[in-house]
Amino acid sequence: MKSKLIMIPLIVLAGCSQPKKQEDNAVKLITLDPGHFHAALVQKSMYRGVDSTVHVYAPKGTDVELHLSKIEAYNKRPDNPTTWDEKVYLGDDYLDKMIAEKKGNVVVLAGNNQKKTNYIKRSVEAGLNVLADKPMAIDGASFEVLKGAFKTAAEKQLLLYDIMTERYEITTMLQREFSMIPEVFGTLEKGTPDNPAVTKESVHYFYKYVSGSVLVRPAWFMDVAQEGEGIVDVTTHLVDLVQWECFPDQTLDYKTDVQLVSAKRSSTDLTLSQFNTITKSTAFPDYLKKDVVNDSVLKVFSNGEINYKLRGVHAKVSVKWNYKAPEGTGDTHYSIMRGTKANLIIKQGAEQKFKPELYIDPVNPKDAAFEATLNEQLKNLQGKFPGISLTKTKTGWWVNIPDKYKEGHEAHFARVTEKFLSYLKNKDLPAWEVPNMIAKYYTITAALDLARKK
């Protein structure tokens, strides 16, 4: 049954001033069914050439209310407030209404991942560009739909792109840069299943702060049928970085370049009290009952590990979710690229005060010429990243990175959006981006199938 709610105009303003409108040929954003806070983070900044009016289409409920409250907070913040004007349609027919009205030309998607691939498909079929949060596919069936959507987007000359924020994290950027200096890194090792050439591990927490407030997650976020299992969620970023760093600017073919070795999955157990703290729900919804043990413990399959070969290079990515970080700690990340001359290592543990740091450890510590070579090559890199320097450690060097480069995770959404808008305007999306997105989603969805068989 369709809702009788036709249009609810919601104008979110900064103070009493009307937001300035952009020119008629500006990019016009549409936010579809926002259920994840990443949808709001796209609008934490304003963008040149983007209309300040954003049309929102969603079913009535808490998800859209939380989204709009975040936009309102950005508009009302004292420092550099945004001026978004949200026009909201709430109703059961929100998807059909969006397509029929076509109030914009770019659809922003961040929400229920079970629905997302169909949203992508319907949007590009309607002639709309799409900027989508990860993951764009969460199983083998949705991967096939996504492949079709990319084909449609190409035929209609549309841009379909996912939000890979981790490419803009400075230690990862510098890890990639140093790996492309053969005098320092050498060449990438091939590795083995037990000792991969590339390893990326991350630990996350359900309880966290976003934009200064405790994040309220939708209850469906804990349903892997809707959110996707951990092996196809955060690992999307990790697999993307393996591709982006190991084979920079190169086109990958998932049919020939990706070979799965092993995959595994496990659950994080949440009590009803913990579930209530995270979601503000007093009981487990019916759709979660399948994952509840003893009527009191919810098993969320949010943890996963993938071992695979990419063009013959052994790689391992893994993700783990816990309920809440111990006091004074936070998310952790570990990454290593093993080269024939040096290992490039990112650590984000207690020693680093839970901030990512990059280290360069020579394979042969007795090579007296290595330090001179490293310092000479650093001069070239300082032209691109002024201010970076090296500090000697027991095993090699720590890369000293000025604070000006250390943007937080939330700021990276503006970086991705700006890159997307540049591609959209200049029609210059690199040829490798689409096939590599397809390779990425093949890797994670095929790994899920393999892990479930185990």
CA nearest neighbour of 179 among 187, 190, 167: 187
How far apart are the C-alpha atoms of 132 and 109, rounded to whole Å? 5
pLDDT at position 23 is: 52
List the domain boundaries for the chain: 29-163+413-432, 167-411
Helix (H) or strand (E) holding 160: strand 160-162
Instruction: Give the pLDDT confidence score for residue 255 in this predicted structure.
Output: 98
Residue 24's pLDDT is: 62
**Cβ atoms within 10 A of the Cβ of 164, count?**
20
305, β-bridge pairs: 264, 318
Q: Are 257 and 310 in contact (CB under 8 A)?
A: yes
Structure tokens at 46: 């304003």
What pLDDT does residue 10 have? Answer: 40
What pLDDT was estimated at residue 11? 36
| 200 and 281 Cβ atoms separated by less than 8 Å | no
**Owner of token pair 């629905």:** 115
Local structure of residue 281 (DSSP, 8 states): -
Taking CA atoms, 71 is separated from 10, 35, 58, in Å, by: 11, 13, 15
Check whether the bond before 59 is cis (ω within 30° of 0): no
pLDDT confidence of residue 20: 45
Cβ burial of 358 (10 Å; 0-12, 13-18, 19+) is buried
Q: How far apart are CA 448 and CA 451, in angstroms?
A: 5
pLDDT of residue 259: 98
Tens-digit pLDDT string for the chain (454 aa): 343 333 333 433 333 333 444 456 799 999 999 999 999 999 999 999 999 999 999 999 999 999 999 999 999 999 999 999 999 999 999 999 999 999 999 999 999 999 999 999 999 999 999 999 999 999 999 999 999 999 999 999 999 999 999 999 999 999 999 999 999 999 999 999 999 999 999 999 999 877 777 788 989 999 999 999 999 999 999 999 999 999 999 999 999 999 999 999 999 999 999 999 999 999 999 999 999 998 899 999 999 999 999 999 999 999 999 999 887 777 889 999 999 999 999 999 889 988 999 999 999 999 989 999 999 999 999 999 999 999 999 999 999 999 999 998 899 999 999 999 999 999 999 999 999 999 999 999 999 999 999 7
In this predicted structure, what is the pLDDT of residue 22?
Answer: 45
Four-CA torsion 43, 48, 52, 53, nearest 10 degrees? -90
> Residue 210's pLDDT is what?
76
Superfamily, domain 29-163+413-432 = NAD(P)-binding Rossmann-like Domain (3.40.50.720)
DSSP annotation string for 346-382: EE-SGGGTTS-EEEEEES-TT-HHHHHHHHHHHHHHH
Q: For residue 226, with 0-12 CB atoms within 10 Å meaning exposed, 13-18 middle and 19 or more buried, which class applies?
A: buried
Kindly list the distances between the CA atom of residue 444 and the CA atoms of 16, 203, 451, in Å, as whole numbers in the listed order.
Answer: 47, 18, 10
CB 344 within 8 A of CB 200: no
Beta bridge partners of 337: 198, 344
**What's the whole-model pTM score?**
0.91
CA distance 431 to 449: 29
Q: How far is CA 338 from CA 196, 236, 361, 370, in A?
A: 8, 21, 10, 16
How far apart are the C-alpha atoms of 36 and 55, rounded to whole Å? 17
CB 416 within 8 A of CB 165: yes
Q: Which two tokens stand for residue 58?
A: 């969603």
| Full DSSP string of 221-253 | GG-HHHH--GGGTTHHHHHHHHHHHHSTT----
Q: What does CATH list as the number for 167-411?
A: 3.30.360.10
Residue with tokens 């090792």: 189
pLDDT for 186: 98
C-alpha 235/C-alpha 37 separation (Å) is: 18
> What is the amino acid identity at position 349?
G
